[in-house]
Amino acid sequence: MPDSVHYKSLIQPSCSRKLPDFKQSVKLKYVKLGYHYVITHGMYLFLSPLVALIAAQLSTFSIQDIYDLWEHLRFNFISVILCSTLLVFLSTLYFLTRPQPVYLVNFACYKPEDARKCTRQIFMERSGLTGTFSQENLDFQRKILERSGLGESTYLPEAVLRVPPNPCMAEARKEAEYVMFGALDELFAKTSLKPKDIGILIVNCSLFNPTPSLSAMVINHYKLRGNIVSYNLGGMGCSAGLISIDLAKDLLQVHPNSYALVISMENITLNWYFGNERSMLVSNCLFRMGGAAILLSNKRSDRWRSKYRLVHTVRTHKGADDKCFSCVTQQEDPTGRIGVSLSKDLMAVAGDALKTNITTLGPLVLPMSEQLLFFATLVARKVFKLKIKPYIPDFKLAFEHFCIHAGGRAVLDELEKNLQLSDRHMEPSRMTLYRFGNTSSSSLWYELAYSEAKGRIKRGDRTWQIAFGSGFKCNSAVWKALRTINPAKEKNPWMDEIHQFPVDVPKVSTI
| 441: CATH | 3.40.47.10
Q: Does residue 22 belong to any structural domain of this protein?
A: no
Q: Is there a contact between 273 and 208 (Cβ–Cβ < 8 Å)?
A: no
Q: Does residue 34 belong to any structural domain of this protein?
A: no
Q: Is there a contact between 163 and 129 (Cβ–Cβ < 8 Å)?
A: yes
Question: How many distinct structural domains can be found in the chain?
Answer: 1
d(CA 33, CA 455): 27
Q: What is the mean pLDDT of residues 275-296?
A: 95
Q: What is the mean pLDDT of residues 240-249?
A: 97
Write out the residue range of the structural domain in which residue 257 sits. 103-360+401-500
| pLDDT given for residue 12 in this prediction | 47
Q: Is there a contact between 370 and 394 (Cβ–Cβ < 8 Å)?
A: yes
For all residues of the chain together, what is the average pLDDT?
Answer: 87
d(CA 69, CA 81): 16
Catalytic residues: 238, 317, 401, 405, 438
| pLDDT given for residue 83 in this prediction | 77
d(CA 479, CA 264): 18
Could you tell me the pLDDT band of residue 162, with boundaries at 50, 70 and 90?
A: very high
Q: Does residue 63 belong to any structural domain of this protein?
A: no
Per cent of the chain over pLDDT 70 is: 88
Could you tell me the pLDDT band of residue 96, with boundaries at 50, 70 and 90?
A: low
Q: Is there a contact between 395 and 371 (Cβ–Cβ < 8 Å)?
A: no
Q: Does residue 367 belong to any structural domain of this protein?
A: no
Q: Does residue 337 belong to any structural domain of this protein?
A: yes
Q: Does residue 40 belong to any structural domain of this protein?
A: no
* 72 compared with 491, residue with greater pLDDT: 491
Max CA-CA distance within the chain?
100
**Least trusted range by pLDDT, from 30-34, 180-184, 474-478:** 30-34
Is 5 a residue whose pLDDT tops 80?
A: no
DSSP H or E segment with residue 475 = strand 473-481
Q: What is the pTM of this model?
A: 0.85
* 406 compared with 26, residue with greater pLDDT: 406
**289 vs 156, 161, 225, 406, 420, CA distance in Å?**
5, 12, 29, 13, 31
| pLDDT given for residue 172 in this prediction | 96
d(CA 200, CA 188): 15
Q: Does residue 200 belong to any structural domain of this protein?
A: yes
Q: Does residue 96 belong to any structural domain of this protein?
A: no
